[in-house]
Amino acid sequence: MHGINAIKSLTQNQRKVSKAKKRTVKFAGGFLKAVFLTGFCFVILYPIFTMISKAFMGRMDIFDNTVILIPKNITLQNFEIAIMLTDFWNALRNTVALSLLTMILQTASSLLVAYGLARFQFKLRGVFMALVVFTIIVPPQLILTPMYIQFRQFNPLGLMSLIYGGSLNLIDTFTPFTLLSMTAMGAKNGLFILIFYQFFKNMPKEFEEAAFMDGAGSVRTFLMIMLPNARTAIVTVMLFAFLWQYNDMNYTTAFLQNVPVFSNVYYNLERFTLAVYEMLGTSQYDITMTMYVPLVKSAGVLMMLAPLIIMFLFCQKFFVESIERVGIVG
């Protein structure tokens, strides 16, 4: 009897030790995850916190060693200078207008191309799909120079020479973006086509067959059946198109060199620096001004990011739901 009790006691002790080990391992795993996630978030968020802090710093905070992330002399002067130097409101209007234009045109053209490739069988269909993938793989910098020359001396098939007596200069206008977006050759258009292609490819054929039996043609079927079912994909592509055009540095700096848009401000930071010196009436070798310029730059960048942050805060739930549904359908 005594031996049986000893065995039971030993078994219970082993169970307790096993549970303690499991709790220890679980705690250690959770602790390591917390440390990793904290460090990862710090690496990502620290530059953002630094930019926000510098945007509100005053000149006296530059040489104050006690100021790290929280400024003591909070000021809005940096924003005032950035607004004047960057022509902020005009640049904001142009950037938003261009982003909305390309968003609408790229979404429409991608829808048509993807629907044709996904639901119709025709010769060279595989070639066209390869071209779509090709537009994604090839860096835009490789084709940017030829496109710039074409739009700088726009004369397709000599038609402009017949009509206007010579080629047209489309640089510094929205026309290049309009033409590229309408022909599904805009920035990231290939990716948008693939998103819609995968969506349409996985939709049941019974939808179309039922519409055809009711006497609907291809166009009516597309407008009345396919588009309503592709709402989530459309919202996703529209958001991506707007964001990528808003942040685009390649096409915008090439085709809108003298038009105030945010990309030009990013690209011309050196001229932005010299303008701060001139505006404040100091030499560019003044150490105080050399350290003050990054504060103005941070304020300018923060203002340019503000519209995107506000849009994300309002559209976050809808955006995440759209991404999830597109991923499930695709």
Instruction: Give the separation between CA 103 and CA 245, rounded to whole angstroms.
Output: 8
Q: What are phi and psi of 284, to 5 degrees?
A: -70, -5
Tell whether 226 is covered by a domain: yes
| Cβ neighbours for 54, distance < 8 A, ≥ 6 positions apart | 78, 294, 295, 298, 299
Q: What tokens were used for 267?
A: 């690209």
Looking at per-residue pLDDT, the higher value among 327 and 194 belongs to 194
Tell whether 277 is covered by a domain: no
Let me know the angle formed at the C-alpha of 96 by 90 and 99, rounded to the nearest 5 degrees: 135
Looking at per-residue pLDDT, the higher value among 234 and 329 belongs to 234
- pLDDT tens digits for range 67-126: 777 888 888 888 888 888 788 889 999 999 999 999 999 999 999 999 888 888 878 888
Q: Average of pLDDT values for 265-275?
A: 63
Number of independent structural domains in the chain: 2
Q: Would you list the DSSP string of 32-64?
A: HHHHHHHHHHHHHHHHHHHHHHHHT--GGGTT-
The CATH number covering residue 113 comes to 1.10.3720.10
Look up the domain containing 35 and give its range: 2-55
Looking at per-residue pLDDT, the higher value among 280 and 252 belongs to 252
- pLDDT tens digits for range 133-158: 888 888 888 888 889 988 888 888 77
Tell whether 78 is covered by a domain: no
Does 38 score more than 80 pLDDT?
yes
What is the amino acid identity at position 81?
I
Quote the pTM value.
Answer: 0.78
Same domain for 95 and 33: no
Same domain for 131 and 7: no
Same domain for 143 and 47: no
Instruction: Give the separation between CA 280 and CA 268, rounded to whole angstroms.
Output: 19
For position 330, what pLDDT does the model report? 42
Tell whether 65 is covered by a domain: no
For position 280, what pLDDT does the model report? 60
Same domain for 217 and 262: yes
